[in-house]
Amino acid sequence: MPFDASTPRPTLLAQDLSLTYGGPMIVENLGIEVPTGEISVVVGANGCGKSTLLRALARLLKPATGAVILDGHDIHRQSTKTVAKRLGLLPQAPRAPDGVLVSDLVRRGRYPHQHLFNQWSASDEAAVNLALELTGMDEMADSSVDELSGGQRQRAWIAMALAQDTPLMLLDEPTTHLDIAHQMEVLDLLQELNQTEGRTVVMVLHDLNQACRYASNFIAMADKTIEAAGHPSEVVTPELIEKVFGMPVIVIDDPVAGTPLCIPMARSGQKERATASV
């Protein structure tokens, strides 16, 4: 059946995690606990290991040391299908096969729940219909994914991840290549899914202010590990952002959401200000 509150609440955490692709360590001695039922957003400079962390949390990368613990057990000791029913991942900038229809794409999300002779059960159909409805893609179910706008396309992919019907959803930069309106559209959708469906969301975002606005758990990565994690209004400070991005900012209240708003200071501007204040 589509996601319901009776499924056991997921727990996801990592202990003493070190990650590498064979070369230098990308993440070292990282510990994280994903708060259930909340939106966690990972931010950090390019190449700081955000995506790598997300891949490790989704069982796509075996840790060099430490472990990812899903529902109390080492994720690498669980079968791939068990994990796939608890945790879904939407990779960065996914590419759909040429000419594939939205409904076809979303149906593929049911793979972990299907078997050779059981490929379209009533619950498959219900989950796909619900995913299309929640993302507002039901009208476009028979359109080709190629013909959609960027925002619609991303919604189609999110519908696919929704059809997988996992209480935990990991998304790697779900807003890349989208214009600002489509970015907000996607983030609003994810927030709505979190609030109405109680799904735990972990995503990597590039935009600091969007992270502040949508996260209830703000995770900042620097120096191959987590620099700070917590509610954005508590952890986002000019010092933290300067440490993470090496860029001075001032932090004010977002006039719309009331969350922290980081405004970058150009280095030259900062110098002028510094001299002016002396």
- List contacts with other proteins (CB under 8 A): 21-22, 55, 58-60, 79-81, 83-85, 87-91, 94-101, 104-105, 107-109, 111-112, 114, 116-122, 124-125, 142, 146, 160, 164, 170
Which residue, chain included where needed, has tokens 């962390």?
A: 53
Minimum CB distance to other proteins smaller for 122 or for 274:
122
- Shortest reach from residue 92's CB to other proteins, in Å: 8
Structure tokens that stand for 263 in this block: 């405004």
What does the DSSP 8-state code read for residue 144? B
Structure tokens that stand for 9 in this block: 């609440």
Of the candidates 208, 102, 44, 40, which has an alpha carbon nearest to the alpha carbon of residue 57? 40
Which residue, chain included where needed, has tokens 């983030």?
A: 187
CB 14 within 8 A of CB 57: yes
Minimum CB distance to other proteins smaller for 95 or for 267:
95
From residue 120, give the alpha-carbon distance in Å to each of 3, 124, 158: 17, 6, 20
- Shortest reach from residue 102's CB to other proteins, in Å: 12
What is the DSSP pairing of strand 87-90 with strand 168-172?
A: parallel
Alpha helix positions (H), 27-179:
50-57, 80-86, 102-108, 122-134, 150-163
- Shortest reach from residue 58's CB to other proteins, in Å: 5
Minimum CB distance to other proteins smaller for 17 or for 56:
56
CB 200 within 8 A of CB 13: no
Minimum CB distance to other proteins smaller for 2 or for 112:
112
CB 68 within 8 A of CB 56: yes
- Shortest reach from residue 76's CB to other proteins, in Å: 13
Minimum CB distance to other proteins smaller for 42 or for 222:
42
- Shortest reach from residue 123's CB to other proteins, in Å: 10
Cα angle 52, 58, 61 (rounded to 5 degrees) comes to: 50
- Shortest reach from residue 152's CB to other proteins, in Å: 17
Minimum CB distance to other proteins smaller for 25 or for 100:
100
